[in-house]
Structures are given as C-alpha cells and as structure tokens.
Amino acid sequence: MNHPGELIIEPRNGKPADACVFILHGLGADGHDFEPLVPALPLPDDAAVRFILPHAPRLPVTINGGMVMPAWYDIKEMSLDRQIDEPQLMASAERIQALVREQIEHGIDSRRIILAGFSQGGAVAYQAALSFEAPLGGLLALSTYFATADSITLSEANRGLPIEVHHGSFDPVVPESLGKAGYEQVESLGYPAHYRRYPMAHALCPQQVGDIGRWFAERLAR
C-alpha cells in the first residue's frame, strides 16, 4: 500500500497541542472529508487538541467493479457479513498505530489520544484502538461495524477503553444492525460502551456534531 499522508489541524487557539484526535474517513473520500467538522465541534476555548485526518491509500474495490479509489481495504462482497480483505484492513490499522506512536513520541500522553472513524474508517479504528499496546483516551465508531471482532487480539492496556458508537436509523450503506452489533460485541467484552442512534442516513447530523464535541471534551478534560 502507498501511504498518501495526513491532514493535520493544530489547536484553534494557537496553544501547543496536549491531546490528539484521529478521524478516519470512509470509502472513496479522503482526510478533507471531515475537515469541516473540526471547527464545528463545540470544544472548550482552552482545548489544545490536534486533529489528524489521514488519507487512505488508493486501492481497487471489488464491489465497485474494481475501480481504484481511496480505501482502507477492499470490500469483496456487499452481504450483511461484509466479506473484506482483512490483511489490508490490518495493514491500515498498523499504519494508524504507527501514527499514534509518533504523537506519543512527540509528548502527547496516550490517554489523551482518541481514535474516531466513519464507515470503513471506523472498522480500522476498532482494530487499531482495541489492539493498541498503550492505554488510549477513547474510540468513536461512526456509522460503521466491528469487522475484525472474530480475529482481533485485544490489548489488556485498553480493556477499559471508553467506546462511543453512533449510527443512523436510515443508513442504506452500513445497516444500523451492523453498528448495533459492533456495540453489543464490545459491551459483551466488558468495555464501557455507549450507543446513540440518529434519524439520518450514512452521514453526520447537527445534533450528532454537538454530541461528538461534548464527548471529546469530556474524554480530554484535564
């Protein structure tokens, strides 16, 4: 896989970052897809949060006729079980983990790093966060599913990781049943998880943006 880089947004107040949020986009998009979300989040004025929005590599995607597009992994079949290229997903998760380690090396406490992901990006975020070797601040799963639930090696360091799962009740791309199943899987494993549903399709809505900002602020409060 080629690694096309990351969009990095430094704290809006000009302070040195003391926390970091990664947001992983969905299939066919790039890091800029969530760029407008960052200034819209209701974060405290003194929050010094760096946002990192990585770009997925360009891959042929089977369900789209083999078209090459930004993708964290190939989706081979659009069944409810979502047949995917798991080695590609694992490689993407390992890339995100490497980026997290860079932030830790630059002085950010791992407990002040949150992984968030939408759709395909959320599946990668589940894998990257729950298998990471140091305790993280939280996992936000947006309109997504836990693709590696049956194969992941869970990290003991993150067995208490707070997980927030959001899904649209009218999602035609990733059915809400998949999002709810991911939530139930992590809850059954003992993670402190919370589920929110919104009257929306495969997207974000204004109420959700407010909820995301408040959850970030709560998780990153000093």
- Is residue 213 helix, strand or coil? helix
Smallest CA-to-CA distance from 47 within 117, 161, 137 is with: 137
Neighbours of 197 (CB within 10 A): 15
Over its C-alpha atoms, the chain yields an Rg (Å, rounded) of 16
Measured CA to CA in angstroms, residue 217 lies from 8, 55, 75, 109 at distances of 19, 25, 34, 16
Length of the chain: 222
- Is residue 16 helix, strand or coil? coil
Give catalytic residues, as residue numbers: 119, 171, 202
Contact criterion met (CB below 8 Å) for 143 and 149: no
Bridge partners of residue 60, in order along the sequence: 68
User: Is the Cα dihedral 143, 149, 153, 158 positive or negative?
Assistant: positive
